[in-house]
Amino acid sequence: MSAGQVEQDAPMSEPQAATLAGDESVLVSGAKAGDYAAFEELVNRYEKKIYRLGMNITGNPEDAEDVLQDTFLKAFEHLPEFREDSRFYTWIVRIAVNEALMKLRKRRSSREVPFEETQDQEGEVRVRDYADWKPNPEQTLAREEMEQILRNAIQSLPPGFRTVFYLRDVEGLDTHETAQLLNLSAGAVKARLFRARLRLREELSKVLRRG
């Protein structure tokens, strides 16, 4: 990890976030003025998260790489238009989500539920499995095994569900931001999130349940 490169998965305290935002705005100003090293530092900060976003939404390594490259190439080209009324990261997440959704639409196969047509309002939500889990599964299973279980479970969700789950629960976007990005109503986001959480839990329960 280079100097100033930050892996921002852990929650930040307010002073940390303020320092980072100030630091980031210096980098954005530098990048806008043509300092490529400043732009590269912004890329270093967020490339892992953008790749992860691409993998979670598209479920395909080639598409995720395209999402990663296209996101930062577009960010580079359109940087003069970035008005800095949001964080740089929020801006590139918007670009990345749009790129990932375009990939999904292109690759849509007959066995996947199309993103726009995911049924999210109709139908009763029924819990079919009330199983409790083994304690601390992430400590009792090998890391690779646990990661494979999590990857399989999220990829088993329809794209419209896993995208909402990823943006809300992993990226931490709020309902309104997610609805705007995906062109959905707030109610649809909430309904999809509810169903996605339950379905993921049931997928994981198949492996992690007690006894």
Partner 1 sequence: MTLLNCKKAVNQLSSYLEGELDEELKQTLEIHLGKCHHCHAVFDTTRKTIELYCDGKLFPLPDAVRGRLHEALRRRAQRV
Closest CA to 17 of 91, 102, 87, 104: 87
Q: What are phi and psi of 133, to 5 degrees?
A: -105, 165
Euclidean distance between CA atoms 32 and 80, whole angstroms: 6
Pick from 28, 41, 72, 158 the residue near partner 1 by CB under 8 A.
72
Amino acid, res. 88:
F
145 binds partner 1 (CB under 8 A): no
Pick from 28, 64, 97, 104 the residue near partner 1 by CB under 8 A.
64
**CA distance readout (Å), 47 to 25, 50, 87, 130:** 18, 5, 15, 38
Cα 191 to its chain centre, rounded Å, is: 18
How far the first Cα of the chain sits from its last, in Å, is 42
CB of residue 169 to partner 1, shortest distance in Å: 5
Euclidean distance between CA atoms 56 and 165, whole angstroms: 10
Q: Using CB under 8 A, which of the segments 19-27, 54-62, 85-93, 100-108 binds partner 1? A: 54-62
Pick from 29, 36, 105, 185 the residue near partner 1 by CB under 8 A.
36
Token pair of 53 as six digits: 């976003």
Interface pattern 172-211 for partner 1 (x via CB under 8 A): ------------------x--xx--xx-xx--xx--x---
Pick from 169, 176, 185, 186 the residue near partner 1 by CB under 8 A.
169
Grouping H, G, I as helix, E, B as strand and the rest as coil, residue 157 is coil
* Chain residues that interact with partner 1, rule: CB under 8 A: 7, 9, 34, 36, 39-40, 43, 47-48, 51-52, 55-56, 61, 64-65, 68-69, 72-73, 76-77, 125, 127, 130-133, 138, 143, 146-147, 150-151, 154, 165-166, 169-170, 190, 193-194, 197-198, 200-201, 204-205, 208
